[in-house]
Amino acid sequence: MLRVKMFVLYACMIWGLGLYTHIMEVFVYDKWTHIQGEVTRLVQYYETEKDGDKKPVYDFTVTYTIDGQQKSVEKIGFSGKPKFREGQPYLVRVNPQNIDEVRVTDGGHVTFVWTTVICGGFLFLIGAIGFFADNRRKKRSVE
């Protein structure tokens, strides 16, 4: 019975992580000041995976201007095919209370949130099936 409860607990934890991420993106970061930056550096390198395959990884720098100051922010270790190139505009979100706090994202939080919903759903389903199977076994042993 304890193992069954653990599946449900893990599902709730995963759902909580997804909910927290979504709330932060929609209700906090999205309210920050949006500034149009520019990709000023894009570097591609390869990381070797456990099976020996090499996967491309990208680092990039976005430069933007706020309050008359030119600033840069780096994003490190972005894997997958980049949707941008050097010189292309890129959105930067800046905290209005602290202009040194910035958020550079590519909108991938939606994928993460859906992944937590699906994974949590599977764990919850496994826990529910185990719970009903365990109760059924207990009923049979009583009779």
- For position 19, what pLDDT does the model report? 92
* Closest of 50, 51, 54, 59 to residue 78, by C-alpha: 59
Two tokens, residue 117 = 């919903």
* Residues in Cβ contact with 110 at an 8 Å cutoff, skipping those fewer than 6 apart: none
pTM: 0.61
| R_g (Cα) of the chain, nearest Å | 22
- Which pLDDT value is given to residue 143? 55
Tokens standing for residue 31: 């309210």
Q: Which residues touch 105 (CB under 8 Å, ≥6 apart)?
A: 25, 29, 93
pLDDT < 50 stretches in the chain: none
The pLDDT score that the predictor gives to residue 121 is: 92
Q: Which candidate, 12, 37, 15, places its Cα nearest to that of 91?
A: 37
